[in-house]
């Protein structure tokens, strides 16, 4: 176990540091997994860039939740509705953001640096959700500065 300032207790499992975190979204409290994916970097691969990018994502989650909720609702009301009209999934009309908890649950925050640079902006951070409309789940991907760069199925994180 390693206590990482600004993150908490993490355990190294061979290719990632993993831990738990409490978050609040959809007016509900959830405990989610945290995964700092290190690939071949080993236990010393947990860089300050990864930690800063994670903290930037948390700042958006805590202080600008409306941006995240808007991105989810926009995707749900466009893409999911279209898939439902084509018979691929169910769609429930949403009247407010908190109803999203009826169809999705946050499960993991995933952090990985796929570039060889030490630029925080290049770190990928994502929140993965289990959802009713897709077996692959749903995800929101941020750049390391905390800007939402993509929403879609869970595979956009990897």
Looking at residue 151, its pLDDT comes to 96
SS3 content of the chain, % helix, strand, coil (to 5): 35, 35, 30
Looking at residue 79, its pLDDT comes to 93
- How far is Cα 7 from Cα 106, in angstroms, rounded to an integer? 18
pLDDT tens digit sequence for 97-107: 889 999 999 99
Mean pLDDT on 26-48: 88
For the chain, the average pLDDT equals: 89
Looking at residue 48, its pLDDT comes to 87
Encoding tokens for residue 19?
């831990």
Looking at residue 116, its pLDDT comes to 65
Mean pLDDT on 72-78: 94
Q: Compare 77 and 119 and report the one with higher pLDDT.
A: 77
Question: What is the pTM for the complete model shown?
Answer: 0.90
Encoding tokens for residue 95?
């009247």
Looking at residue 43, its pLDDT comes to 82
Give the sheet arrangement for strand 8-12, strand by strand: 2-4, 8-12, 16-25, 28-37, 104-113, 123-131, 138-142, 148-153
């Amino acid at each position: 176990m390693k206590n990482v300032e600004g993150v908490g207790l993490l355990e190294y499992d061979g290719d990632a540091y993993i831990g738990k975190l409490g978050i609040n979204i959809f007016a509900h409290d959830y405990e989610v997994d945290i995964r700092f994916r290190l690939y071949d970097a080993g236990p010393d691969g947990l860089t300050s860039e990864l930690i800063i990018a994670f903290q930037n994502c948390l700042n958006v989650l805590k202080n600008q939740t409306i941006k995240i909720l808007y991105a989810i609702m926009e995707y749900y009301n466009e893409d999911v509705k279209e898939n439902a009209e084509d018979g691929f999934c169910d769609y429930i009309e949403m009247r407010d953001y908190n109803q999203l908890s009826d169809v999705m649950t946050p499960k993991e925050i995933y952090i990985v640096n796929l570039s060889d640079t030490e630029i925080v902006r290049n770190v990928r951070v994502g929140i993965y959700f289990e959802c009713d409309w897709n077996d692959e789940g749903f995800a929101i991907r941020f750049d390391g500065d905390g800007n939402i760069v993509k929403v879609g199925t869970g595979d956009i994180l990897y």
